Chain A
Amino acid sequence: MFSWLLKRLAVTLGYIANYGYTDGSGDWYIIVDTDKCDGCGKCVEACPYGVLEIITDDYDERVVAVRKQHSKNIKYVCAPCKPISGPRDLKCQKACPSGAITHSW
C-alpha cells in the first residue's frame, strides 16, 4: 500500500488533451487522458482512417495524439465509425486497454 502511494506520488501527472474544434455545427473533439495513455499504439493500429499517431510530447512522454492534418476535419473522418442510426463502433476506444480515449460527440 505504502509503496503504491510512493509510486503514485513519484509519477508526474499527465494532462487531458482536447484535439479538434468547435464550429457552427457543434463540438468535435477527441479527448485523450495522458494519465491513462502509455503510448502502446494499439488505437493507432485499430483506426481505419489513420486519425491517430504516437508522439513524444513536451514533457517527453510517449502518448497518442490526433494527427495535425485531421485536427480540423475529425467530424468527417470519424463519421464512418459513428453512424447517426445504428450501433457505434469506436475502434480506437475499444482497442485502448486503459480507456484513455473519449469522443465529445
Chain B
Amino acid sequence: MTTEFYRWTENSWHSPDIDWRKAETLVAGIDVGSVSSQAVILADDKIYAYCNTRTGSNSPDSAKKALSIALEGTGIKPEDIQFVVGTGYGRVNIPMAKKAITEIACHARGANYMGGPTVRTILDMGGQDLKGIHCDEKGKVTQFLMNDKCAAGTGRGMEVMAELLQVPIVDVGKMSLDVKEEPEPVSSTCVIFAKSEAIGLLRSGWTKNMVLAAYCAAMAHRVVGLLERIGVEKEFVITGGIAKNIGVVSRLEKELGIKAMPLQPDPQIAGGLGAALFARDLLLKSRKGN
C-alpha cells in the first residue's frame, strides 16, 4: 500500500464530565469545508463533543459522517439534537441543518469563544481559501476579507508539497524549522509553479527540510500580504488546519511582529463551534417566541 503523506490526523473528543441529559439545550454546528469537516456539539454553553474529519466528494454524506463520529460513544441520537446550523463551503447542502450561516461569521464567533473577548483579528487558513476577519468583543464581524481565488498559501497547497516531498504533513512544520539557516522563500505564489520550483531546488541539491522551509516562508509571506489590507490588531489568533503547522505559524509571527494566541481545544473546530453557538442562540430565541 502506498503511503498517503498528505493525510493529517483525524480526531474526535467528548467530555467525560458533562452529562448531556441534564443540559437544557443540546445543539450542533457542522462545518463542511473544502478539505475537512467538523461537527461540534454544545451542551448548554459548553463544548460537549467534537470531531474533525476529511470532507468527501459529497457534502451531505460528509456532514452525516462528521456528526456520527462526534456522537460516537456519547449515547446521543441525531434526533436528540435540538438545533443544527451548517457552515462552510457545503453549508447549503447539509440535510439536518435548519439554517446556514457563512463561515466568516462562524469563525469569528468560534474564535471569540475559544480565545476570549480580547480576540480582534482572526486569520483562518483553510483548506482552499484564506480569510482575514476583525471582530468585536462579542465575536461579531467588523471587517472581513476572503481570498478563495487560488489555493496558494492554503492547506491544499501544503498537501501537495507534503506529497511531493514524501513527508507526512503533520511533520512538515517541525522539519521546516530544522535548517541551519533560513533559505530564500520560493518565489512562486501559485501551487503548481511552486511545485515545479521545489523540484528544481531538490535537483540542485537542497535538502527536503530546506525546501519545506522555503515553502513555509513563502506561505507566511503571502498571508502577511493579505492581512496588510485589513491590518492586524491584538489579540491575534489563527484558525484552520495550518494553525497546527509550527513552521508556517512561527514564520508568520516573525514577519508580522506579533504572537498568535493559541486556541484550545482545537483551532480547526472554530467554524463548527461558531455554528453551534449560533444554533444555541437561535434555539433560545425560538423558545422565547413560543
A residues engaging B (CB < 8 A)? 12-13, 15-19, 21-24, 27, 29, 57-59, 71-72, 104
Known: A21-B150, A23-B150. 14 other contacts (CB 8 A): A13-B136, A13-B142, A15-B141, A15-B143, A16-B144, A18-B229, A19-B146, A21-B148, A21-B149, A22-B147, A57-B102, A58-B101, A58-B104, A58-B141
Among all A-B residue pairs, the 7 with the closest Cβ atoms = A21-B149, A18-B145, A58-B105, A16-B143, A15-B141, A15-B142, A72-B149
A23 CA to B189 CA in the complex, in Å? 9
Chain B residue at minimal CB-CB distance from A72 = B149
Which chain B positions have C-beta within 8 A of A57?
A: 102
- Give, as a whole number of angstroms, the nearest-CB distance from A14 to chain B: 8
Partner of B144, one of A17, A23, A59, A72: A17
Which chain A positions have C-beta within 8 A of B170?
A: none
Assess whether B230 is interfacial by the CB under 8 Å rule. yes
- Give, as a whole number of angstroms, the nearest-CB distance from B35 to chain A: 19
A58-B105, A72-B149 known; A22+B144 contact, CB < 8 A: no
Partner of B229, one of A29, A58, A71: A29
- Give, as a whole number of angstroms, the nearest-CB distance from B278 to chain A: 8
Assess whether B190 is interfacial by the CB under 8 Å rule. yes
Q: How large is the interface on B (under 10, 10 to 19, 20 to 34, 35 or more residues)?
A: 20 to 34
A19 CA to B101 CA in the complex, in Å? 17
Q: By CB atoms of chain B within 10 A, which of A22, A23, A57, A71 has the most?
A: A22
A24 CA to B150 CA in the complex, in Å? 10
A23 touches B105 (CB 8 A): no
A17 CA to B143 CA in the complex, in Å? 6
Which chain B positions have C-beta within 8 A of A58?
A: 101-102, 104-105, 141
Which chain B positions have C-beta within 8 A of A29?
A: 145, 229
A95 CA to B126 CA in the complex, in Å? 36
B146 touches A18 (CB 8 A): yes
Which chain A positions have C-beta within 8 A of B149?
A: 21-23, 72
- Give, as a whole number of angstroms, the nearest-CB distance from B233 to chain A: 14
- Give, as a whole number of angstroms, the nearest-CB distance from A76 to chain B: 12
A104 CA to B228 CA in the complex, in Å? 13
A24 touches B189 (CB 8 A): yes
Which chain B positions have C-beta within 8 A of A13?
A: 136, 142
Which chain A positions have C-beta within 8 A of B145?
A: 18, 29
